[in-house]
Amino acid sequence: MTQTNLSRFPNPYLASETDVLGITAQIQRLETDDQLAVLWYIYTEMGRSIAPAALEIAKFHLAKRLLNQMKNASHEEQLEIMRDLANHRDTPAGHTYGALNVKAKLAFWYQLAEWMTQKIVVPMPSDYSLNSGANQTLEALKRLALNQQTIVLRNVVAKMGIDPLT
């Protein structure tokens, strides 16, 4: 019997589908602000690798409309919209976001992270620190391969907002 390259040279960063789903579930169980913080960390620490190719996709006009709404809102309103999306609240923004396809949702959060860094959208508080559960989840996420990190991110943002078909 011959061994595959994968089994001869095990990759400690290669996780199973169960690990990917488990980390997704861990993020979704976090308190709302910790979920948003983890998203921000994902995009600022790992997001440079997750190319914003989705910015050129069809249906992005809906995301642009929602992004413009975010841009024109106060910081308090921006944070409340983000919380509403994470908590699946029945709001106009939640319905608009829910109508986006997954690539547009990824692009939406990518743009928000960029604007947060530029302080166009409510920035991450400089004194904010993740609780231990959120920090452990983020560390587990960092151990995944890039494509697996992308899957987790896609899984998390896809579930936010309100599904317009329900």
Q: How far apart are CA 133 and CA 2, in angstroms?
A: 41
Q: What is the pLDDT of residues 71-103, one digit of tens each?
A: 999 999 999 999 999 999 999 999 999 999 888
Q: How far apart are CA 139 and CA 66, in angstroms?
A: 31
The whole-number pLDDT of residue 6 equals 35
Q: Are 70 and 81 in contact (CB under 8 A)?
A: yes
The whole-number pLDDT of residue 54 equals 47
DSSP string, 123-142: PPPTT----HHHHHHHHHHH
Q: What is the DSSP letter of 91?
A: S
Domains identified in the chain and CATH numbers: 16-158 (1.10.2090.10)
The whole-number pLDDT of residue 11 equals 43
Alpha-carbon torsion angle 166, 70, 30, 45, nearest 10:
130
pLDDT under 50 in the chain at which residues? 1-14, 54, 58
The whole-number pLDDT of residue 9 equals 33
The whole-number pLDDT of residue 7 equals 35
